[in-house]
Amino acid sequence: MMNRGGYFQSALGGRMVASLTGLGLVGFVIFHMLGNLQIFEGGDALNGYASFLREMPILLWAARLGLLAVAVFHIATTVRLALRNRRARPVAYVVHQYRSASLASRTMALSGGLLLFFIVFHLLHLTAGLVDPSIPNRLDAQGHLDVYGKVIHAFQNPLYVAVYFAGQLVLGLHLSHAVSGSLQTLGLEHAALNRLFKTAGPAVAVLVVLGNLSIILAVFLGLIHT
């Protein structure tokens, strides 16, 4: 009988961990997008939302550390599974026949790596303010950190628009397979619901990408401004 530690070291256990942590990260991505959409309600709404989060430092840092732990588990597990699969088949096929495999499923490792780089860039850019020294770091009329102004400043620059646009395409590609694949791995596949689960990933990907791009393009096109 396999003990609990042995189960999670197994291929099946690893896929379960990758699926659970992946779905947790998807939930955060959706929540993050919905929060950022408050930019369409104006500076008071977005800055108030950001201030509300910062006024609960214990919960905020607990969420940040929890999210970091989930991300580390997800990355470590998926890398271990990829290496295990490569060791199991050390010689690559001369001719690849993917048949029903989608582009998203074939490029999960690549899109995951690119997504990691984009997330680091995003944190250094809009969170830490290290990428663009000219980014404003001021308070609004209510005394809240002017997150609204930072976003407006960032996406008036075509270079950052291009970077974030590319990042959203990579995110969408990764999500489109990750959600459906995770649901199937967790045993949530049923003959009557197969179509629903297969379309869940692309649907979530489209929702998140369009939501995030709507912010970027609205600022760049001058529909939202200070």
What CA–CA distances, in Å, run from 180 to 97, 172, 199, 223? 22, 13, 7, 35
Which domain covers residue 92, as residue numbers? 4-220
Residue 225 belongs to some domain of the structure: no
Q: Give me the number of domains the chain comprises.
A: 1
- The verdict on residue 202 lying in a domain is yes
Question: Residue 68 sits in a domain of what CATH number?
Answer: 1.20.1300
For 84-109, how does the pLDDT look when each residue is reduced to its tens digit (9 = 90+)? 877 766 555 444 444 456 777 777 88
Backbone dihedral region for residue 207 (phi beyond 0: left; psi -120 to 50: alpha; all else: beta):
alpha
Confidence of residue 35 (pLDDT cuts 50, 70, 90): very high
Does some domain include residue 210? yes
Q: Convert the pLDDT of each residue in 134-191 to its tens digit.
A: 888 899 988 899 999 999 999 999 999 999 999 999 999 999 988 988 888 777 666 6
Residue 211 lies in a domain: yes
pLDDT at 116: 93
Q: Record the tokens describing residue 2, joined without a space.
A: 């396999």
| Structure tokens belonging to residue 202 | 């692309």
Question: Which of these, 112, 82, 86, 98, lies nearest to 178 by C-alpha position?
Answer: 112
